[in-house]
Homo-oligomer: A and B are copies of this chain.
Amino acid sequence: MDERKGKPSPGSPESAVPRAVVSRLSLYLRELQHLVNDGNATTNSTQLGTLLGFTDAQVRKDLANFGQFGYPGVGYRCEELIAAIKKILGTDRFWPVAMVGLGNLGRALLRYRGFGEQGFRIAATFDVDAEKIGNTVEGVEVFPLDRLAEVVAAKGIRLAIVAVPAASAQAVADSLVAAGVEGVLNFAPVTLALPERVSRVGVDLAIELEQLSFAVVNRPENP
């Protein structure tokens, strides 16, 4: 997909902290959640760095963007740092999310457990297919697109996932903006024109494969 992953909206306040740092907060959060599940109460920048392949200095520098979290002689208290990172990321609250488009990708995303684990729940889905509208898929009701504004308001939805074909994506984005949605995660292979006040993240899955081909061709045995 075409939209720039990691592109901050120009002039928006989040550009003060590089998007890559924010992305690493998510990685720290996952590792901390694993550590707690494994029974660890504390950790430190060396352990977190080792788990993620970063230097301990990088870990400390990343976290220092957001405050002072360590204790001398203790390191980080896992639950406390989890709570702090969730607050920074805004996932210390529950986010109902709208999903537009119930094709294969939309259905796969509805089943995706990782969203719920981090505080996101797809609260309503929207499609133009009369055969889908009115049904529930994975327990989530399918609404017609023309009820977007009404449902978004009723359910307090601020974030939306666009999983429609490229040709429909901009029209869907315009409807989401008109409905008052504040952030759009776009899976459609186009760059969406959105007003400055709406945040957007594009998903480019080919980047992941490029990371993989880079790793494979840069192994010493694969010149």
Contacts and interface: CB of A to CB of B under 8 A. Distances in A.
B12 A219 contact: yes
Nearest to A215: B199
- Which 4 residue pairs spanning A and B have beta carbons closest together? A90-B217, A199-B215, A105-B108, A90-B213
Given A104-B107, A204-B30, A185 B209 contact: yes
A103 B107 CA distance: 10
Give how many copies assemble into the complex. 2
A38 interface: no
A108 B89 CA distance: 29
Interface size grouping (class) on chain A: 35 or more
Interface in A1-49: 1-2, 4-10, 12-15, 19-20, 22-27, 29-31
A115 interface: yes
A158 B216 contact: yes
Contact of A109 (B5, B9, B205, B218): B205
A117 interface: yes
5 contacts: A14-B214, A25-B214, A89-B217, A115-B205, A115-B209
